Each structure stands twice: as C-alpha cells, then as structure tokens.
Amino acid sequence: GAGVSQSPRYKVAKRGQDVALRCDPISGHVSLFWYQQALGQGPEFLTYFQNEAQLDKSGLPSDRFFAERPEGSVSTLKIQRTQQEDSAVYLCASSLAGLEQFFGPGTRLTVL
C-alpha cells in the first residue's frame, strides 16, 4: 500500500522567502509528526497532531514555523522568512494511535 508521501522532495529558497512543505500520511493514521534533520544529526521533533488537533508544538524553533492539518489528513509545514539555519531535511511521519511511526522520504530544504 501507499506509504507517507512528501512534496516537494527538494526545495531551494532565497533567504527571506516563505515555503510550504506538504505531507500526505497513510490513510487512516490519526497521528502525524514533523521532524527536522540537520546534516549528520538525528531527526529532531517539531510538532505532533492527533487528527486535526495540534497537541504538541514544543519543538518548533521559532514563531516563523507553523504547521496545520485542517481536515485531519494532509498536513502542511510552513516556514516564513526563511533563514540559512532552516536548511535541513524535514521529515513527516504518521502512526495509528501511538504505534510505530512510518516516515516519509523527507523534503530537503536549502536556503541560500
């Protein structure tokens, strides 16, 4: 069956531009997570949704980062006024009620 998909796979932005990253979770998965992975590091938690409710956003690094999941399925991570330090791979994962998380391939964001 279809896994978690993310788009775009690669994104280059000029410093100061806004970007939107999309995640399509596995159908029926109520939990959705966003992680940020810097080069050579493990993924770091950003935020978590259960259906459309954002239950934990403690990992969002600044108020320039915003995530939504309005209908409890597709999610979008938006970064406003991108900075060079935002360059990373952004990973989305989904799961059924706390069971193992299934990850997408990630979006590699490069901010010039």
Partner 1 sequence: DAKTTQPTSMDCAEGRAANLPCNHSTISGNEYVYWYRQIHSQGPQYIIHGLKNNETNEMASLIITEDRKSSTLILPHATLRDTAVYYCIVRVSILTGGGNKLTFGTGTQLKVEL
Q: What's the Cα-to-Cα distance from 109 to each of 66, 67, 96, rounded to whole Å?
A: 16, 16, 28
Which of 91, 94, 109, 111 binds partner 1 (CB under 8 A)? It is: 91
Which of 51, 54, 59, 72 binds partner 1 (CB under 8 A)? It is: 59
* CA-based nearest residue to 9, from 79, 91, 99: 91
CB of 75 to partner 1, least distance (A): 15
5 binding partner 1? (CB under 8 A): no
18 binding partner 1? (CB under 8 A): no
66 binding partner 1? (CB under 8 A): no
Q: Which residues bind partner 1 (CB under 8 A)?
A: 4, 31, 33, 35, 40-45, 48, 55-56, 59, 91, 93, 95, 97-106
